[in-house]
């Protein structure tokens, strides 16, 4: 039985990962979730597991050396699955230093504490591993050429403060491996979608706005391309890498599912119209008339596309949820969790929305 220290487990992918692990391993796994509970951390995401004997929550900042050292002292940790990060590109454009602190210094602190706990006189204890969860954004932006992809060997070329901070954290993790022989893997994944995603990100924001009859703010021409992966497929990939990934290796995770943003928004409108009951009053206002092209994101990367060849050939991973099925499940989940949405969109979210969208010009 392994003990996992999951950081950022109250966020979107972290909470999906914890659910995935309990579904897969049941009582044969112990999970310690370390989360600071920033605006993005939500314990409601984990209400179903909080009573389990093999689940423990520790509220702590990953930058806090004493608190993290204490976790390694209290538990014999086999795996660190490091999700905790500031994750939203738009926020990083407004407040870059918050991203440098958590994503760079926080990751360094996590590794330092793991290294201290796992180090023996002449190496590291057997079976330990640090899995750093990262993003395809570290590779920069691809041209519209459909044959161009991000490989593990693609040079890093991040453009936003978010992706630059994630790139820095990746390089630190690699440096710990090369310098100390620190046991680790890095995963670089494309855009995730699914349940429990904070509605600052494209898909939950559009679903929520559409259900409320609000405008759907598409940045620029809406033709930027992202490579969308259902979150459970990402979680399965991380578990596989953590079990079978070769020490020191990076694995790209993505499902060959490239879509322009405008296509995603139109699909959301279409599925909502198909799936809302005939007599639901919200149906009347959900149409493409809600779409509004607004001022573009600064430094907006044009296209991301992952080549998942390595994780497929070495570990047999491939996505199991196709987009149409995944988006329908996702929309269904948000329609059935209106209370969850209401809790996180009251209060500070309203200020966030005004601050982020209030000044954006509507384009012709
Ligand atoms: P999220 O913003 O939904 O969740 C982040 C979590 O980290 C929250 O629970 C938050 O409270 C916690 N956290 C933030 N700062 C912390 C700190 N200083 N100390 C402790 N906890 C802190 O993020 P997400 O979308 O779930 O992303 C998780 C990870 O996956 C990130 O590292 C992100 O870079 C990476 N990633 C995300 C995507 C995506 O599409 N969302 C794709 C690839 C990689
Ligand atoms: O590629 C992986 C990355 O995907 C992760 O590392 C990040 O943590 C995650 O946030 C995501 O980054 P993006 O910037 O691609 O995701 P976001 O949902 O913010 O935006 C997706 C696209 O939609 C992007 O081209 C910007 C556009 N967009 C976004 C919002 C929020 C809009 O047009 N309108 C919007 O209101």
> Which of 99, 219, 222, 263 maximizes ligand 2 atoms within 8 Å of its Cβ, making it the mutation to test the pocket?
219
Q: How far apart are CA 77 and CA 84, in angstroms?
A: 17
Regarding the beta carbon of 189 and ligand 1, being less than 6 Å apart is answered yes
Average pLDDT for residues 182-210, to the nearest whole number?
98
Catalytic: 137? yes
- The terminus-to-terminus CA distance of the chain in angstroms comes to 59
The pLDDT value given to residue 191: 98
Regarding the beta carbon of 137 and ligand 1, being less than 6 Å apart is answered no
Query: Which ligand lies nearest the alpha carbon of 219?
Result: 2
Is 347 a residue whose pLDDT tops 90?
no
Is 306 a residue whose pLDDT tops 90?
yes
The pLDDT value given to residue 238: 99
Q: How far apart are CA 9 and CA 31, in angstroms?
A: 10
The angle formed by the CA atoms of residues 290, 292 and 294, to the nearest 5 degrees, is 155
Mean of pLDDT over the chain: 98
Tell me how far the alpha carbon of residue 336 lies from the centroid of ligand 1, in angstroms: 24
* 212-244 tens-digit pLDDT: 999 999 999 999 999 999 999 999 999 999 999
Average pLDDT for residues 347-361, to the nearest whole number?
95
* 18-48 tens-digit pLDDT: 999 999 999 999 999 999 999 999 999 999 9
Catalytic: 289? no
Reference 200, options 304, 295, 290, 89; nearest CA is 89
Q: Which residue has the tokens 């509507």?
A: 362
pLDDT band for position 143 (50/70/90)? very high
Q: Which atom of ligand 1 is nearest to the CA of 42?
A: 9
Q: How far apart are CA 105 and CA 63, in angstroms?
A: 6
Token digits of residue 101:
């602190």
Regarding the beta carbon of 16 and ligand 2, being less than 6 Å apart is answered no
CB atoms under 10 Å from CB of 336, counted, come to: 10
Which residue's CA lies nearest to atom 34 of ligand 2?
A: 218
* 80-100 tens-digit pLDDT: 999 999 999 999 999 999 999
Tell me how far the alpha carbon of residue 338 lies from the centroid of ligand 2, in angstroms: 22
Q: Which of 61, 86, 136, 227 is catalytic?
A: 136
Is 364 a residue whose pLDDT tops 90?
no
Q: Which of 162, 176, 196, 334 is catalytic?
A: 162
Q: Which of 86, 137, 258, 301 is catalytic?
A: 137
Reference 192, options 178, 183, 203, 177; nearest CA is 203
Regarding the beta carbon of 14 and ligand 1, being less than 6 Å apart is answered yes
pTM over 0.85: yes
> Which of 84, 156, 202, 252 maximizes ligand 2 atoms within 8 Å of its Cβ, making it the mutation to test the pocket?
202
Catalytic: 162? yes
> Which of 5, 63, 66, 85 maximizes ligand 1 atoms within 8 Å of its Cβ, making it the mutation to test the pocket?
85
Q: Compare 364 and 68 and report the one with higher pLDDT.
A: 68
The pLDDT value given to residue 133: 99
Neighbouring residues of 239: CB distance < 8 A, sequence distance ≥ 6: 17, 20, 21, 24
Q: Which atom of ligand 2 is nearest to the CA of 219?
A: 33
């Amino acid at each position: 039985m392994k003990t996992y220290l999951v950081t950022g487990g109250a966020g979107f992918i972290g909470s999906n990962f914890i659910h995935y692990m309990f579904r897969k391993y049941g009582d044969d796994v112990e999970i310690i979730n370390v989360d600071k509970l920033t605006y993005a951390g939500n314990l409601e995401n984990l209400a179903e597991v909080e009573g389990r004997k093999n689940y423990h929550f520790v509220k702590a900042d990953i930058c806090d050396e004493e608190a993290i050292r204490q976790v390694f002292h209290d538990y014999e940790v086999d795996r660190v699955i490091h999700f905790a990060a500031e994750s939203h590109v738009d926020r990083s454009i407004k407040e870059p230093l918050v991203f440098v602190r958590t994503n760079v210094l926080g990751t360094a602190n996590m590794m330092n504490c793991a290294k201290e706990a796992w180090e023996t006189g002449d190496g590291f204890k057997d079976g330990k591993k640090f899995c750093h969860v990262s993003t395809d954004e570290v590779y920069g932006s691809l041209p519209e050429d459909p044959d161009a992809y991000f490989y593990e060997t693609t040079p890093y070329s991040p453009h936003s403060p978010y992706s630059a901070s994630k790139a820095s954290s990746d390089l630190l993790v690699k440096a710990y491996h090369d310098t100390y022989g620190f046991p680790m893997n890095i995963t670089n994944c494309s855009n995730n979608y699914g349940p429990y995603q904070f509605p600052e990100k494209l898909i939950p924001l559009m679903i929520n706005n559409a259900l409320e009859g609000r405008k759907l703010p598409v940045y620029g021409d809406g033709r930027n391309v992202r490579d969308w992966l259902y979150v459970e497929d990402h979680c399965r990939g991380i578990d596989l890498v953590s079990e079978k990934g070769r020490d020191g290796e990076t694995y790209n995770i993505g499902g060959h599912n490239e879509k322009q943003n405008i296509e995603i928004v139109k699909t959301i409108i279409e599925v909502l119209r198909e799936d809302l009951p005939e007599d639901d009053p919200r149906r009347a206002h959900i149409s493409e008339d809600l779409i509004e092209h607004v001022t573009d994101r600064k430094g907006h990367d044009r296209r991301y596309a992952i080549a998942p060849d390595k994780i497929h050939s070495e570990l047999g991973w491939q996505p199991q949820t196709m987009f149409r099925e995944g988006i329908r499940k996702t929309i269904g989940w948000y329609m059935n969790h209106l209370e969850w949405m209401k809790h996180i969109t009251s209060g500070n979210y309203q200020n966030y929305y005004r601050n982020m969208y209030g000044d954006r010009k509507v384009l012709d």
